[in-house]
């Protein structure tokens, strides 16, 4: 189920974690920083959508992925 909002959020979370480590060890890599910010914004938009459409799934997703 790669198209559901919850799966998209989980996939972006994994990619964000990997980019966070990369950006920490390569602070001058501006291209990766921009990609990191884009993925972070996309995840934020998806979380806002999920909160609006399905508050129960939103709460479950935050707990499962250990997000605040």
39-51 per-position pLDDT tens digit: 999 999 999 999 9
Report the alpha-carbon angle 42-58-64, nearest 5.
90
Tokens in use for 15?
A: 């990619």
Residue located via tokens 């920490």: 24
Domain ranges in the chain are 5-65
Q: What pLDDT does 68 receive?
A: 83
CATH code of 5-65, in short, is 1.10.287.10
Q: What pLDDT does 4 receive?
A: 93
Q: What is the pTM of this model?
A: 0.90
Q: At what angle do helices 55-65 and 5-25 cross, to 10 degrees?
A: 30
Three-class SS of 9-27: HHHHHHHHHHHHHHHHHCC
10-31 per-position pLDDT tens digit: 999 999 999 999 999 999 999 9
Tokens in use for 43?
A: 């995840």
pLDDT at 2 over 90: no
């Amino acid at each position: 189920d790669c198209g559901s909002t919850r799966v998209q959020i989980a996939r972006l979370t994994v990619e964000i974690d990997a980019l966070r480590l990369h950006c920490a060890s390569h602070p001058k890599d501006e291209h990766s920083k921009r990609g990191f910010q884009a993925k972070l914004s996309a995840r934020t938009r998806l979380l806002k959508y999920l909160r609006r459409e399905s508050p129960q799934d939103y709460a479950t997703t935050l707990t499962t992925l250990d997000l605040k």
